[in-house]
Amino acid sequence: MITDLRIADTPHGGLHYDVCLIGAGAAGISIAQALAGSRLSIGVLESGGSAFEPDTQSLYEGQVGGHPMTMDTGRCRILGGSTSEWTGRCGKLDRIDFARRNWVPHSGWPIRHADLAHYYRAAEMVCGFATPWVDDAEAARDLEIAAPDDPRLANYLWRYAPIGNRLYRHWGREYRPLLEASSNVEVLLHANVIRWHASGKTGLPQRVEAVTASTLEGRTILVRARAFVLCAGGLESTRLLLSSRDHVEGGLGTGLENAGRFFMQHPRGRIARLETDKRTGLSLQDRYGIFGARQGLQYESGLAMSEQVQRESKLLNASVIFTYEADAASGWEALKSLAYPTAAPPVGRAKALNRLVRDPGSALTNLWRRGWQHRHAAFPVRSINLVIDLEQKPDPDSRVTLSAERDRLGLRKLHVDWRINPEERRTSAHFARILAEHFSRNRTGSLVLEDWLHDTGPIGDELSGTFHHIGTLRMASNPREGVVDGNCQVHGVDNLYVSSCATFTTGGHANPTFTIVALALRLADHLRARLSEQDHPSSAPHKVKRHPGIHIADDSGTAAAICRRRRFRPM
């Protein structure tokens, strides 16, 4: 059931659930769909509505210091959360990411890579993959990508979630039929958590009794639950937990002093340009790029540093992708300019036709690749760029804190001080040198390294953020080192959990959404076991009545597709 707090006929005594999920993005929806159909009652509080709303989105605004970044872009307060702008790029963390590395301070998760293996498999289905992934080695063989002949390098493959076959895999649309139809899941839109109600105090066993949720217009509801899960994204989940100090003596959790610290992203930027001949440039596009294969599944291939070189040279984890700038004189570019005249280059149609006549091969080849093979275009290039995605060193001084300024709901805004450290530059430079040696030895071409790799001053816009807000509620075995334990439970609070990449102890180089989903499914199993359906599930949730005449349309695609995904989900 989905309803709207702004118009709902709410019970006088508030709402009560077994599990209250705060946020309806990838994490919240993963848990909700995992527990849909169970005997547990699930309430989902979503700040936004079904469509983008500037006033609601503005609640993300805050102050930024340190390395430049934005706080109100790349994150979405909407049913579906940031999946509404997600390209579907999925990758697993590596085994080394979970290990305690003596050259990476504050590294080492309290869980192992193996603890997520089952949930990574389940996450494939939740993310919309119709068939299980083959392992990377088999996929690389299918794609005819040979393994690098350098032990310092390894192929890395990303898969793109095929939900809805759209550019953006919007879970608010895709999972809406399931959420609407579920008898034990209730989604309340425009419900912003503004207050915590808890028993106990810091240092003693604490328990969240309820939260108060409010619309922007000031309509409030008290929500009680046996367990609460913060699923509001890295920054907003951190803000809500830090804000507990305004409502609960000492705040929530014995690890609260670590909350907001160790803020990381995946810094991204160009590290080099590859100079090569036309034939090699075309060949590289069939090895490193975005293309489809194997039942239409879309892949992206790149290179990563092996675990061996990370250990030997004491480096952070990293990967590179290849981006290709087309030669404007190619027939393919001419055909594109004729097909899309609004995006035409600064030449007339006659000149474009002339270029097409001079180079019909690239146009015909790519029409075949795109139309028949369902692969990306390959074209003569004028430049090949190598773009790095970096793991960051966990730094307690890279942090988010609460500022004195308050938003429309009365909550204090965040101040973000994001730090990029010398270790990130050293890893980038070392990786670039390995690649330069590799390409030179294989006569692929000459790599021209970017100047910033050799500088000693602060890193500027050479590296940018990726909206991956990692580490601020980090996982650790004790509250001296982190905020949540290995089950994502807040240290010192009996019934409060976090489902977000804020819990990542270290970030690796892979996009975090796939691991967020795997951890969310693991948490769903933990909640199911702990709350015990054989125990006494709470009475059916107090249903919110819809306002007469209000109908929330289903515009998300077929319910059959959702049912198909749920059938694959191993629960």
pLDDT tens digits, 185-229: 999 999 999 999 999 887 788 999 999 999 999 999 999 999 999
Supply the mean pLDDT for the chain: 86
Region 276-301 average pLDDT: 81
Cα dihedral 434→436→437→441 (10° resolution): 140
Region 103-117 average pLDDT: 97
Beta carbons within 8 Å of 312's beta carbon, 6+ residues apart: none
Region 238-256 average pLDDT: 95
Residue 566 has pLDDT above 70, yes or no: no
Residue 98 has pLDDT above 50, yes or no: yes
Evaluate whether the domain defined by 2-56+75-128+169-254+470-568 bears CATH number 3.50.50.60: yes
27-54: pLDDT as tens digits: 999 999 999 999 999 999 999 999 999 9
52-70: pLDDT as tens digits: 999 999 999 999 999 999 8
Region 367-377 average pLDDT: 55
pLDDT score for 168: 54
pLDDT score for 550: 27
Confidence of residue 534 (pLDDT cuts 50, 70, 90): very low
| Residue with the two structure tokens 């709207």 | 4
If 0-12 CB within 10 Å is exposed, 13-18 middle and 19+ buried, where does residue 74 land? middle
Structure tokens that stand for 242 in this block: 């830090």
- Residue 525 CA to residue 529 CA, distance in Å, equals 6
- Residue 358 CA to residue 126 CA, distance in Å, equals 48
Backbone angles phi, psi at 222, to 5 degrees: -90, 130
Q: What is the pTM of this model?
A: 0.88
pLDDT score for 545: 43
Strand-strand pairing, 381-390 and 446-449: unpaired
Residues 365 and 378 sit within 8 Å (Cβ to Cβ): yes
Residue 467 has pLDDT above 50, yes or no: yes
Region 92-114 average pLDDT: 98
pLDDT score for 367: 58
Q: Rounded to a whole number, what is the distance in angstroms from the first to the last CA of the chain? A: 22
Share of the chain above pLDDT 70, in %: 82
Beta carbons within 8 Å of 354's beta carbon, 6+ residues apart: none
What residue type is assigned to position 34 of the chain? Answer: A
Domain ranges (residues) in the chain: 2-56+75-128+169-254+470-568
pLDDT score for 161: 85
435-455: pLDDT as tens digits: 999 999 999 999 999 999 999
Helix locations, 295-359, DSSP H: 307-313, 331-339, 349-358
